[in-house]
Amino acid sequence: MTAQSDYLLHLADNALVLGQRNAEWCGHGPVLEEDIAMANISLDLVGQARMLYQHAASLIGNGATEDSLAYFRDAREFRNFTLLELPHHGPLAATAAADRDYAVTITRNFLYSAHMLLLWDGLQAHEDAQLAAIAAKSLKETRYHLRHARDWLLRLGDGTDASHARMQAALDHLMPYTQEFWSGADARTAALQAAWDTLVDEALAEATLQRPAAGGHVPRGKEGLHSEHLGFLLAEMQSLARQHPGTQW
């Protein structure tokens, strides 16, 4: 495994895991238009993951395929941000249950899409021509993802007292996980942090939301150290492929 293939897997795992999470809204959207919009965003992300896995497989060799990388690696081998594997609700007691919370989904999509908008833009000039081409295509999709999430962030944040409270709670819950975007980052990624802060802070001000203070535990999902939630997500996503190994999906 080279540094380049490992980086491609990080990008692919991010897209696949968030695509799988967002797909959980299919048939459960708050309104029909949102059900369709979230399904389309999920398909975009899975499409990005496929391109990245295919490229990574070509570099890894040894019979690696997009299917083997997506369906036959265990949680410890995944390199996605911890933020993306979390369920669609805030922290709960061990015995508690909750319905999906659209505020959590929207806030996560906003924070991640703002990051990827900047990252894809920079990767268009990458020396790896195939990665540059993937970045150019993904950038167009991510612009829509960010616009969709930002519009809802403003609508709910500056909406009713109830919607504002739920958005603020989602932000308080999720913002600490974004520290992983920058932990151990190379110079190219670290340089994006100031631009990301500007994008986020401008939107939060318009949405009348308060950015939580920085600090706390820094997740290490991109190092393979995940929350308990990823194992359950992968078990559902990978089960059919593992029951029928050798079949192309």
Q: What is the mean pLDDT of the chain?
A: 92
pLDDT at 95 > cutoff 80: no
Q: What is the pLDDT of residue 96?
A: 63
The whole-model pTM stands at: 0.93
In CATH terms, is domain 3-87+100-210+219-243 a member of 1.20.1260.10? yes
Q: What is the pLDDT of residue 248?
A: 66
Distance between CA atoms of residues 181 and 2, nearest Å: 21
> What are 208-229's pLDDT values in tens digits?
999 999 888 889 999 999 999 9
Distance between CA atoms of residues 45 and 108, nearest Å: 14
Going by pLDDT thresholds of 50, 70 and 90, the confidence category of residue 238 is confident
Q: Where are the domains of the chain?
A: 3-87+100-210+219-243
Comparing 5-14, 40-49, 108-117, 235-244, the range with the smallest average pLDDT is: 235-244
Look at 139 and 34; give whichever has higher pLDDT: 139
Secondary structure class of 220 (helix, strand, coil): strand
Region at 226 (left for phi over 0; alpha for psi -120 to 50; beta for the rest): beta
221 Cβ contact partners less than 8 Å away, ≥ 6 residues apart? 78, 79, 80, 81, 82, 83, 84, 85, 180, 227, 230
